[in-house]
Amino acid sequence: MAAFCLITFGVLTRYAGGWGVPFFSFTSERGSTCTNTFTGYTCDPLTLADVEFYSDLNLPNDTRVASGNYTATHDYRLEASLRMTPRSQAAGLRALQQELGDCQPDHPPPIDTAGLTDFCVLTNDNAMTQSVEPPSRLYVVGTGVAKSGVRVVSLTIRSR
């Protein structure tokens, strides 16, 4: 009987996260560690594949995720800090602009700009006042290039 209980307990704890049991962990299809909550789940830290999946961005493959988390409940929120190598930082900026639009020169940057050049802020946070039908997601992306040539990116995307 004890063996049956141990085996059952082992199976339950192994698969409980995938079944959505609160406070049990699971690994996303793209490799991030996620934990269920009562109302959804949180993934922290994120892999680059998950950042690309949740943000609908196609970033250079050598982009490094310095930190990131994703929270899904009845809505979602993605926050990530990315580093693009000097070799791919220009292509990375083009990819961001292709998906999110042009840089907004008058918008305050959401990142610390000390030691950074070539600032760019991509945002649609004014969409709620300027359009008849606001977009389904709001984003603020700040980026700049460090002296080392690395492009630093701060990414915040949330549903409205």
Measure CA of the first residue to CA of the last residue in the chain; give whole Å: 52
Which pLDDT value is given to residue 114? 87
**How confident is the model at residue 12, as a pLDDT?**
64
Q: Are 26 and 68 contained in the same domain?
A: no
Residues 114 and 80 in one domain: yes
- What is the span of the domain harbouring residue 30? 1-38
24 and 85 in a single domain? The answer is: no
Query: Do both 141 and 74 map to the same domain?
Result: yes
Q: List, as own/partner pairs, every contact residues 16-23 make where C-beta atoms lie below 8 angstroms and the sequence separation is at least 24, other chains included.
A: none
How many domains is the chain partitioned into structurally? Answer: 2
Torsions phi, psi for 129 (to 5 deg): -105, -15
3-state secondary structure of 159: strand
Q: What is the pTM of this model?
A: 0.85
Q: What is the structure's pLDDT at 29?
A: 93
What span, in angstroms and rounded, lies between the C-alpha atoms of 17 and 22?
A: 8
Decide: helix, strand or coil at residue 4: helix
* The predicted structure's pLDDT at residue 135: 76
Q: Are 114 and 130 found together in one domain?
A: yes
Q: Which positions of the chain have pLDDT values less than 70?
A: 4-5, 8-9, 11-15, 126-132
